[in-house]
Amino acid sequence: MTRFSRAFAACALFLTFGLGSAVAQEIPTPAAKTDKDSRKKMKQVYKELGEAYKHWLDEDVVYIISPDERKAFLQLSTNEEREQFIEQFWLRRSSNPDLPDNDFKEEHYRRIAYANEHFASGIPGWKADRGRIYIIWGPADEVQTHPTGGTYDRPMDEGGGSTSTYPWETWRYRHLEGIGEDIELEFVDPSGSGEYHLTMDPSEKDALLHVPGAGLTQLEAMGMASKTDRFTNSDGTNLGKSLGGSRSAKYNEFSRLEQYTKVQQPPAVKFKDLEAVVTSRIVRDQIHFNWRTDYLKVTTESVLVPVTIQIPNSQLSFKDKDGVHSATLNIFGRVSTLTGRVVQTFEDSVSRDFPDTLFQQSVKLSSIYQKAVPLRPGLYRLDLVIKDVQSGNIGVVNSRLAVPRYEEDKIQASSLILADQLEHVPAKQIGSGQFVLGSSKVRPRLDADFTVNDKLGIYLQVYNLKVDEKTHKPSGTVQYLVRKGDQQMMEFKETTQEMKQSGDQMTIERLLPLSTLAPGKYTLEIHATDQLANQTISRSAEFTVKAAPETKAAANATPGR
């Protein structure tokens, strides 16, 4: 399943955005109105990007993403598409996409870490020229370092003679794909700050270049040339004339300019042949299911994330044996960082069995499953894959997972959960099992559809309440509002004293009868106020009330069971 998920994401992006074909560079022309509109749209999309995606685009892969890929990324409209693009981006560069660990990605982030550790000065190492080259091309085959500068005997191509230099380095690569053989790159630190920059002019390291009569070349020392001649060169350098009058090809200004440009461009990508996985489109989303994530604070650096999945029983394939209809689902979940590091996985098998007498009624209902995953605050990717064992049908979800950070200096709250079952559990079940949050069983109603005969389960945790120094208890109020459009249909309040709350955390658990509400769509608002700190936090959720079922049997048929 893991391979299927990765391969499909790569295939989908490849086919959708045409990244396997060459796309012309953006060159402004008078007739390019569509290009201008496209660029304007991409600028707007960029402004609206989340910080994690901007960080990925402008820092993580800024040196290796091609202009075509960047353009395609900024044309995406949803975070789900962006997550798929990121996964496909790494797969296209992996030497073996079938392996769970991406060798290219691991090496790339190792290079970033190395650059930050070794090339930082006034700026992070990844931003420095040496960091850029190291991240793109890796370690050089040979490195000459002169961290304090010093005396330098010029080669004849540079005019010969001796001078003093600023700190400088020469990196030599035996081969760079798409550039050539025996590539030499020179970095100079004229300010002595540790910030070396890539240069095209070998004379830039000459500390005596602007000192009259010092650091002369051989011809200058012999009186056959003037030092001022260096500043009239037309080749982009301040080198003195060589004894032979000509230099080797590597000093050619056009060759140096071409090399200088190419080494800073993203390396070419060898597109992977994804034709074999095109058929994965056939099986994708054969099973449609609902899902949601909730967030509850555990500690400052830990958040409990219940992942709830609801599958209509009509989507399952049942096998009849001895009057019992059975279906089995395999559920796989994976949580990974945006860089692809897997932080959590879970796998479970869920069986549903119904006797003949209840089968037709049960097919109209749903099966519900939940897995609670502890995570650190941050941005993740969530992959869910569901497979019907009988039919082989598969359903897939790839989504962004933003785990919030609960600050300690102000009132905070968990997700607001609307539940169809809300009850206390025996002491031995506290904190364990599906749908168990603390001492309560809270079973979410994913579609938020209730009847007038139901009670709406409300579950919310409020954190960081200020505690009175004398009573050691909080002082707060909770206001409940039910609105239908702009019209207020219901309102009531309760205090922390009435709720018998103590400590800096408050758990709100209520069953709200819906018999007084007419069928329709409503919004529940909860406003929790800490009176000691004079702070309020609000949560809201929409729900629907439907008419009572016509029969008693139908009234007892609640979704999710």
Residue pLDDT, tens place only, 410-429: 999 999 999 999 998 887 77
Q: What is the mean pLDDT of residues 495-510?
A: 88
In sequence order, what are the beta bridge partners of 76?
none
Average pLDDT over residues 81-90: 83
Domain count, the chain: 4
- Both 425 and 346 in one domain: the answer is no
- Which of 103-117, 227-241, 353-367, 446-460 has the weakest average pLDDT? 227-241
Let me know whether 257 and 289 are in one domain: no
Q: Same domain for 466 and 526? A: yes
Residues 307, 231 within the same domain: no
For residues 425-457, b (16+ Cβ closer than 10 Å) or e, as one string?
beeeeeeeeebbbbebbbbbbbebebbbebbbb
Task: List alpha helices for 284-355, DSSP H.
Answer: none
Q: Look at residues 36, 67, 93 and tell me which one is the last residue of a structural domain.
A: 93
| 67-90 average pLDDT score | 84
For the entire predicted model, the pTM comes to 0.52
pLDDT given at position 558: 42
E-strand ranges in 65-214 read: 142-146, 150-153, 162-165, 168-176, 180-188, 197-199
Collapsed DSSP state (helix, strand, coil) of residue 370:
strand
Specify the pLDDT at position 431: 64
Rg (CA), the chain: 33
Per-residue confidence (pLDDT) for residue 407, from 0 to 100? 86
- The whole-angstrom separation of Cα 475 and Cα 526 is 17
Specify the CATH number for the domain of residue 375.
Answer: 2.60.40.10
Q: Is residue 447 part of a domain?
A: yes
Alpha carbon 395 to its chain's center:
22
Structural domain contains residue 104: no
State which of 356, 379, 406 marks the end of a domain: 406
What pLDDT is attached to residue 98?
63
What's the rounded Cα separation, in Å, for the pair 319 and 324?
Answer: 8
Residue at 273 is within a domain: no
Which of the listed residues 385, 406, 427 is the one where a domain comes to its end? 406
Same domain, 396 and 417: no
Cβ burial 351-377 (10 Å sphere, 16+ → b, else e): ebebeeeebeebbebbbbbbbbbebee
- Is the same domain home to 413 and 560? yes
Q: Which pLDDT does position 14 carry in this prediction?
A: 37
Quickly count: other Cβ atoms within 10 Å of residue 160's Cβ: 19
Does 540 share its domain with 412? Answer: yes
d(CA 209, CA 258): 25
Q: What is the pLDDT of residues 336-353, one digit of tens each?
A: 887 777 888 888 888 989
Q: State whether 399 and 416 are in the same domain.
A: no
List pLDDT tens digits, range 516-560. Answer: 999 999 999 999 999 999 999 999 999 999 998 865 444 444 444
Based on the domain organization, do 69 and 211 belong to the same domain? no
Would you say residue 321 lies in a domain? yes
User: Is the domain of 427 the same as that of 541?
Assistant: yes
pLDDT at residue 513 is higher than 70? yes
CA distance 153 to 160: 7
Residue 4 tokens, joined: 């299927």
- Whether 346 maps to a domain, the answer reads yes
**Residue range of the domain that includes 556:** 408-561
Q: Determine, yes or no, domain membership for 291.
A: yes
Asked if residue 205 lies in contact with residue 150, where contact means CB atoms within 8 angstroms, the answer is: no
131 lies in a domain? no
Task: Extract the tokens encoding 175.
Answer: 């081969």
**pLDDT value of residue 276:** 30
Residue 150 region by backbone torsions, left for phi larger than 0, else alpha for psi between -120 and 50, else beta: left
Asked whether residue 204 falls in the same domain as residue 311, the answer is no
Backbone angles phi, psi at 495, to 5 degrees: -105, 165
Question: Are residues 414 and 511 located together in one domain of the fold?
Answer: yes
Determine how many CB atoms are found less than 10 A away from the CB of residue 304.
19
- In the predicted model, is pLDDT for residue 134 greater than 90? yes
Task: Provide the percentage of residues in the chain whose pLDDT is more than 70.
Answer: 86
Is residue 268 in a domain? Answer: no
pLDDT of amino acid 100: 64
Say if CB 164 and CB 149 are below 8 A apart.
Answer: yes
pLDDT (0 to 100) of residue 226: 85
